Structure 1
Amino acid sequence: MDRLFTQVEFGPHKVDVPAGGYYDRFRMNPDLDEVARDPAAGNIDFFRRIPKQMVASRIGPTWAPNFYYRTSQVQLLFLAPLSRLRAMLPMPLEPLRAFPGYGLVALTFFSYAVCDNDPYDEVSVAVVIRRPGARGSHALELRNAMRRRHFFAHVLALPVSTEIARVRGVYGYQLPKWRAAIDVNIGADVRAQIARPDGAPDLTLSAPLPRLREVAPQSHMGTNTMINMVDGKWHQATVQTNTLSFAQRLFPRDVKLMRHGGALSQLLDGLGVKKIVRLDVVKDAQVVLNLPTPL
């Protein structure tokens, strides 16, 4: 084995992780005082108010929730025909209607620079859905979701760049994860891409960097709730985000997303996405990922 990696047990699975990295040292239960001394982690006071607990999971007892100390992301929010979305969603999930005949699909490139299970990148394709049990006006529900910054979604694809992220997602959450080469760069401009298994491009994204807004910690909190089946039963997993630096543009015209025919390109084609409603760029954020709980 490469001396830069060490093998650890994750439930019944054996996975190579960076030697001396966060997972190797802390096994998901970090000493926050030690993390605070890592310049790459930044200020971690947000996490001190969220106690970790040893909880049962599909892969055995594990510490939860999962902490992501330094993250960034680029998201495109698309309009897609409701007929296509309904065909892709398992019953009884229902797409949230944004305009007559159209719902919303989010394509998100994530980069996790410092986290409990070591750095990795991830790409998500998710359909924005109605809150389970919701009735009445779609417009009112969408307005409330935007005001509260709390959306519900069903994830259709979630490729990742490391094996421990894949194993945790597949066996811990039963999410549609696979290994892929992913690159996310937010610099003078915004660039992101994901490759097919043969190394050829699947999706490539580029856009000018919008003017970023810096905000005080915990002043711009958001929550996303993933709804998916785990062992044949509906579960929800919440993701809390403490955004620190971000930008948002409605109906951007200078975003270039090239589809090269890979799995995610085909998925977006199948969903019928065309019009970009919003571009979100998050330069710096802190994230807490909770384990799935039964609905």
Structure 2
Amino acid sequence: MDRLRTEVEFGPHRVEVPAGGYYDRFRMNPDLDEVARDPAAGNIDFFRRIPKQLVESRVGPTWAPNFYYRTSHIQALLLAPLAQLRTMLPTPLEPLRAFPGYGLVALTFFSYSVCDNDPYDEVSIAIVIRRPGARGSHALELLDSMRRRSFHAHVLALPVTTEIARVRGVYGYQLPKWRADIALNIGANVSAQIAGPDGTQDLVLNAPLPALRNVAPQSHMATNTLINKVDGVWHQATVQTNTLSFAQRLLPRDVKLLRGGGPLSQLLDGLGASKIVRLDVVKDAQIVLNLPTPLAPGWV
């Protein structure tokens, strides 16, 4: 075994993690005073008001929620025909209509540089859906979601770069995760890419860096909710984001998204995802990921 890695237990699974890393040292229950002394983590006051609890999960007792102390991401929001989105959504989920005949697909590249289960990168393809039990106007729901920075989504693909992230996602959340090579860079330009199983490029995104805006901690919060089935029962998992440095552009014309024919390219093609209507670049943010909880019976 690589001397810089060690094997740990995650429920019934054994996986390798960085020796002396956050997971090896804290097992998801970090000493926040010690984390605060890590210069890479930055200011972590946001997490001190969110107590961790030892809760039961699909893989046994685990500490939750999961803390991501330093993250960045690039998101392209694409239009896709409602008819094609409906074919990819399990009943009773319904795509949220953005324009007549069209809904939204979110392609997001994440980089988690400091977190409870050690650094990794991730790519998400998700359909923006109506809130469970929502009725009435799609337009009003969309405007309300934009105002509150709170969306619901159903994830179709979620590849990651490390085994601990894959195992946690698959067995803890029943999310569609697999291992892949992923890279993200936010510099003079923004770029992100993911390779397919054969090593060739699947998706490549490039764009000029928009002007970033720095904001005070907890002044630009967002809450997104993932809806998926866990052991055949509908669950929701909330993701709280404390955004610190970001930029947003509507109808960007200089974003290049190249599709190399890999699994994510094929998924976007199958969804009919085409025009990018919004580009979000988040250079610095903190994230809290909660464990899935069952939706109330009769929400449909």
Q: CA deviation at 1:192?
A: 0.3
User: 1:26 maps to what in 2?
Assistant: 26
How far apart are the structure 2 equivalents of 1:253 and 1:149? 24
Give deviations 1:253-292, integer Å, cap 9, x for gaps. Answer: 0000000000000000000011100000000000000000
User: 2:140 maps to what in 1?
Assistant: 140
User: 1:287 maps to what in 2?
Assistant: 287
Q: CA deviation at 1:74?
A: 0.0
User: 1:77 maps to what in 2?
Assistant: 77
1:231 correspondence with 2:231: yes
**Structure 1 stretches lacking a partner, 5+ long:** none
User: 1:91 maps to what in 2?
Assistant: 91
How far apart are the structure 2 equivalents of 1:257 and 1:240? 27
User: 1:38 maps to what in 2?
Assistant: 38
The 3-state SS of whatever aligns with 2:108 is: strand
TM-score by length of 1: 1.00
The 3-state SS of whatever aligns with 1:92 is: coil
The 3-state SS of whatever aligns with 1:41 is: coil
Give deviations 1:32-62, integer Å, cap 9, x for gaps. Answer: 0000000000000000000000000000000
User: 1:64 maps to what in 2?
Assistant: 64
User: What is the 5 A alignment of 1:183-262?
Assistant: 183-262=183-262
Give deviations 1:155-189, integer Å, cap 9, x for gaps. Answer: 00000000000000000000000000000100111
How far apart are the structure 2 equivalents of 1:274 and 1:134? 27
The 3-state SS of whatever aligns with 2:123 is: strand
User: 1:112 maps to what in 2?
Assistant: 112
Q: CA deviation at 1:153?
A: 0.2
User: What is the 5 A alignment of 1:6-25?
Assistant: 6-25=6-25
How far apart are the structure 1 equivalents of 2:156 and 2:129? 12
Q: Percent identity?
A: 84
> Which structure 1 residue ranges, 4+ long, deviate > 6 Å from structure 2?
none
Which residue identity lines up with residue 292 of structure 1 in the other structure?
P
User: 1:163 maps to what in 2?
Assistant: 163
- Report the RMSD for the aligned CA atoms in angstroms: 0.3
How far apart are the structure 1 equivalents of 2:197 and 2:7? 24
Give deviations 1:53-105, integer Å, cap 9, x for gaps. Answer: 00000000000000000000000000100000000000000000000000000
